[in-house]
Amino acid sequence: MKFGKEFAAQMVQEWQEAYMDYSKLKSILKDILRFKQQNKEPLTMATTTTTTTKGALNRRASLYRAFSGLTNRYKPVSAMKNNEDEVILVSAVQGGGVEGDYQTMFLMSGEEGGEFELLFFRRLDDEFNKVLRFYKKKVEEVILEADELSKQMNALIALRIKVDNPVVKGTDMVNLADKGFSSNSSSLSHSHPINGGKQGRTHMDVIQETEMSNEEEMKEIDNRHFRPAPLDVLNHVKINVELETPIATLRSVIKSSKSDLSFSKQELRTAEEKITQAFVEFYRKLRLLKSYCFLNQLAFSKIMKKYDKITLRNASKAYLQMVDKSYLGSSDEVTKLMGRVEDTYVKHFANGNRRKGLKTLRPQAKKERHRITFLYGFFSGCSIALIVAIIVSIHARNLLKSQGRDQYMVNIFPLYSLFGYIVLHMLMYAGNVFFWKRYRVNFSFIFGFKQGTELGYREVLLLSSGLSLLALAGVISHLDMEMDPRTKSFRTLTELIPLFLLIVVLSVTFCPFNIIYRSSRFFLIRCVFHCVCAPLYKVTLPDFFLADQLTSQVQAFRSLEFYICYYGWGNFEERSNTCEESEVYKVLYIVVAIIPYWFRFVQCLRRLVEEKDTAHGLNGLKYFSTITAVAIRTIYSHQKQKTKTWLVLAAATSGIATMASTYWDIVIDWGLLNRNSTNPWLRDKLVVPHKGVYYAAMVLNCVLRLAWMQQVLGIQTVPFLHKTALVAVVASLEIIRRGIWNFFRLENEHLNNVGKYRAFKSVPLPFYYEYNADKSI
């Protein structure tokens, strides 16, 4: 792989604009090479003459230089070269910061083609200064964050002493700490674990990882006059109560979320969990910052060596010496901080087990397994074979003209269509993941997946193909259209196959054992629960993204309602039901369709209250209009004698909801239709290089949005297509539209993160210092 591609692949995608623009510098070098190739012959003759003359002058001059000795170890050979060999001079220009920008003076600008090389060094300086300023800014941020974590650790250790009340060699640590022998816990020079490594000093500058027996620990304490962290810090600290449960949300309405410490074990455990998360995220930030530094240094080295190769000069050495001496090459704050964070985490959160601690701080990337590819290929092949078998069976037995066709489509088809909706949605998501990875959209960070637990497109295809295989196997075994003439009923076991499949899917979803991607299943369950309790939970992107997916699965919710009615109150042995005649069923048919939109509506209200952004209020009105349209359109479709008044209401509300949703999809969610964009009617930054993809997606979104208008337009039947099959087709088109929407929605979110250099999630810290009331420390 060429370095340019490897460089782009290893970038922190949210920081990509802060990296050295390798491709731009490489294009300038190509211009230099093209110029030299066009002027190759005269340049070669002139170079030969100049080299010969210059070599002779150098040889004559060298006869008169002072002899430096045979064993001179103080000056390198390169330092003895004549100034005539110098190509560039690099100097620091004093700027507004601690260290100024760097400027390169090209000494050969008078030569033919020198303007190209002069342009190269100007652009090279711009790129280096950009990288240097960004790196310095980020290092300053992590140093401040390290100080904040140190203060959090001071409070945590004091809370540990207060809660655990440890006794060391007959001495009560609480009483000893209250006497105030140490004014500041960070002034101690060593760290000593108490109670299995749970207690001790936390100052990151001097953490030393030691594993001692109890006797050695006592001796060490006696020898160094150990004093615990003072408890007076707890007098200035309150604990942050995050709105993570419905009860906590209701309590926060009555009183502040920052409460006094109660010194309970639950409070200590919560504080430890939050600080642990903060350390893991902080260490990840340090690793990415170190990678940023290394990759840019490597890129400058590569581009300068390429310059030397093209121009036959020796400028790389001087420039790379400057890079090494600059803050980018000489700073070691990040490396030191990484070591201190490792030592602190191992001692205080891993009980001195370094392997365990580093395993948490450095999660391993997920390995691709060939068996997953084999299995989803095998399941997919079997599913295709079953589809062919079903088609052949239908034609061979002429089931489309069978007397039991309508009975089957009304009673059995809705049961299996539920699995079809789920499989189709999973296939669209697998496609989303594939293209997100291809175009380097950091979807795992956006969704907040824990590193190494996110599902790739292969895993999603495995699950979807496995589910389709089970569903299709049930369908082909359930194609019996004739009753038993003796019992006047169908076989009970056959009729229960859809119910068994549903039970299997739900059992796997809620299975507590660590099988079949448990972390991803629990993440999905947690997000669904947040959607159900939407106004009582802080709304995050995974929550409202999932709620948007549910709005495209309205027909799947109605299928679940039909399951309950068919197997609960219907006569499934004779394939008959009276669901459509029940008024309760009709009301629930409307309620079930409204529920997903209601989730999004209350989420918008919650965000409006918290963020005070009117855009969330407008988004809530959009979902409210959709709720109204769905309710009126469903009432109209259930009318036996359709009235003109309900038709007008259904058409008006559906039209308003469709236009509002389409506009919001394209302009707000996708960020397109920008008249002043460098890409006409799109946006300035695009992930997909082909602009036609965006225009096609906008048109397709508008067309598929109109699909749900088929009820209002009176399109209830299509030749050779049953009414329930038409409903399934329309529902599938909406799922396809949602899959397209997913890609561009996350692309826009990713570009917003890139524009703000937002590569890390904010982790709430547990302790709040009263003397710094403007922020949580």
Cβ proximity of 648 and 669 under 8 Å:
no
Three-state DSSP class for 278?
Answer: helix
Three-state DSSP class for 484?
Answer: strand
Number of domains present in the structure of the chain: 2
699 lies in the same domain as 734: yes
700 lies in the same domain as 751: yes
Whether the predicted pLDDT of 295 surpasses 50: yes
Buried b (16+ CB within 10 A) or exposed e, 603-626: bbbbbbeeeeeeebeebbebbbbb
pLDDT of 711 reads: 60
CA distances from residue 428 to 374, 424, 740 in whole angstroms, order as listed: 20, 6, 8
Judge whether 202 lies within some domain.
Answer: no
413 lies in the same domain as 315: no
353 lies in the same domain as 374: no
Q: What is the pTM of this model?
A: 0.82
- Taking only the tens place, the pLDDT of each residue in 304-348 is 999 999 988 888 899 999 999 999 999 899 999 999 999 999 998
Q: Which of 10-24, 93-107, 324-338, 565-579 has the lowest mean pLDDT?
A: 93-107
Judge whether 310 lies within some domain.
Answer: yes
Running DSSP on this structure, what letter comes out for residue 199?
B
pLDDT of 94 reads: 63
255 lies in the same domain as 374: no
673 lies in the same domain as 604: yes
- Taking only the tens place, the pLDDT of each residue in 386-445 is 999 999 998 888 888 887 788 888 899 999 999 999 999 999 999 999 999 999 999 999
Average pLDDT, the chain: 81
Identify the domain containing residue 391 by its residue range.
370-772
State whether the Cα torsion 627-630-632-634 is positive or negative: negative
617 lies in the same domain as 496: yes
pLDDT bucket at 227, cuts 50 / 70 / 90: low
Strand pairing category for 767-769 and 88-93: unpaired
Judge whether 568 lies within some domain.
Answer: yes
pLDDT bucket at 581, cuts 50 / 70 / 90: confident
353 lies in the same domain as 426: no
What tokens does 307 get? 């310059």
Give the mean model confidence (pLDDT) for residues 50-64: 44
Query: Any bridge partners for residue 199, and if so which?
Result: 194
Judge whether 212 lies within some domain.
Answer: no
Among residues 316, 340, 364, the one where a domain terminates is: 364
Judge whether 4 lies within some domain.
Answer: yes
533 lies in the same domain as 678: yes
| φ and ψ at residue 270, rounded to 5 degrees | -65, -40
Judge whether 380 lies within some domain.
Answer: yes
Whether the predicted pLDDT of 372 surpasses 70: yes
| φ and ψ at residue 237, rounded to 5 degrees | -120, 140
H/E run at residue 237: strand 237-240
Whether the predicted pLDDT of 509 surpasses 80: yes
Judge whether 692 lies within some domain.
Answer: yes
pLDDT bucket at 89, cuts 50 / 70 / 90: confident
Among residues 347, 364, 381, the one where a domain terminates is: 364
pLDDT bucket at 572, cuts 50 / 70 / 90: confident
Whether the predicted pLDDT of 751 surpasses 60: yes
591 lies in the same domain as 619: yes
Judge whether 54 lies within some domain.
Answer: no
Buried b (16+ CB within 10 A) or exposed e, 216-232: ebeeebeeeebbbbbbe
352 lies in the same domain as 471: no
Among residues 364, 390, 409, the one where a domain terminates is: 364
347 lies in the same domain as 495: no
